[in-house]
Amino acid sequence: DAEITQSPRHKITETGRQVTLACHQTWNHNNMFWYRQDLGHGLRLIHYSYGVHDTNKGEVSDGYSVSRSNTEDLPLTLESAASSQTSVYFCASSESLGTGLYGYTFGSGTRLTVV
Amino acid sequence: KNQVEQSPQSLIILEGKNCTLQCNYTVSPFSNLRWYKQDTGRGPVSLTIMTFSENTKSNGRYTATLDADTKQSSLHITASQLSDSASYICVVTDYNNDMRFGAGTRLTVKP
């Protein structure tokens, strides 16, 4: 069965370190997204990609980067981790550009703690 | 100010009871509204989607309503089960495919 997987599930890192969160999907979806989820806030878009070599900034992109070298993977990198980036991170993918109608398939999340 | 507001923030009900969750939005121009269920430690999963012309849509014990004039939606859960314990997230999409997420309602169903 097709799936979207995130790794690791939990990560603790120190302030200032570079961290990469992995996202891998086997749906063959062109569109992939990274969100962060914090208590009291809705999911907020960090970066997204509509295809290989395409990347775009979301509303909370500062301090994060992504790259898309193939259809299956969209790794999220925190260049220099800060305590404000402690959060739960969700990766998602969707079938078409009309993401609203077709919806997203979400991964199970990565809980990142920056100490 | 968030363009999608959900209420209540949290809710506790007894198993077998019904409940209604609310979503008010200011997103414009409106394209569609989706309700997601998010179990603890998991990603959100879509329950229903409603477009401008739809007033009511059901998915088993879940019934969503939409009033596009007042920009309000509700999710009604009938005969609740322990497995309904989760967060329920309202997501509104505009014509530019920008999605706005509500902060969610945390539902706890107790035996």
DSSP string of A6-36, one letter each residue: EE-SEEEE-TT--EEEEEEE-S--SEEEEEE
Between strands A44-51 and A31-37, the pairing is antiparallel
| Beta carbons of B93 and A99 less than 8 Å apart | yes
Q: CA nearest A91: which of A3, A17, A2? A: A3
Please compute the mean of the pLDDT values over residues A75-101 and round it to a whole number. 88
Q: What is the pLDDT of residue A97?
A: 60
**What phi-psi label fits residue A28: left (phi over 0), alpha (psi between -120 and 50 degrees) or beta?**
left
The pLDDT tens digits for B47-106 are 999 998 889 999 999 999 999 999 999 999 999 999 999 999 999 988 888 889 999 999
CB nearest B44 (choices: A98, A100, A106): A106
Q: What is the pLDDT of residue A7?
A: 97
Residues of chain A in contact with residue B100, where contact means CB-CB under 8 angstroms, are 42
Look at residue A49 and tell me whether its pLDDT is greater than 80.
Answer: yes
Report, as an integer, the average pLDDT of B16-23: 98
Q: Please tell me which residue of chain A has the smallest CA distance to B30.
A: A100
Q: How many CA atoms lie within 13 A of B96 on its CB side?
A: 5
What pLDDT is recorded for position B98?
84
State the Cα–Cα distance between residues B106 and B89, nearest whole angstrom: 9
Report the candidate in B34, B12, B35, B9 with the shortest Cα–Cα distance to residue B85. Answer: B12
Lowest mean pLDDT among A25-34, A56-65, A97-106, B78-87: A97-106
> What's the full length of chain B, in residues?
111
Inform me whether the pLDDT recorded for A96 exceeds 80: no
DSSP state of A59: T
Mean pLDDT, range A81-107, rounded to an integer:
86
The stretches of chain A forming alpha helices (DSSP H) are: 99-102
Instruction: Give residue A57's pLDDT band: very low, low, confident or very high (50, 70, 90).
Output: very high
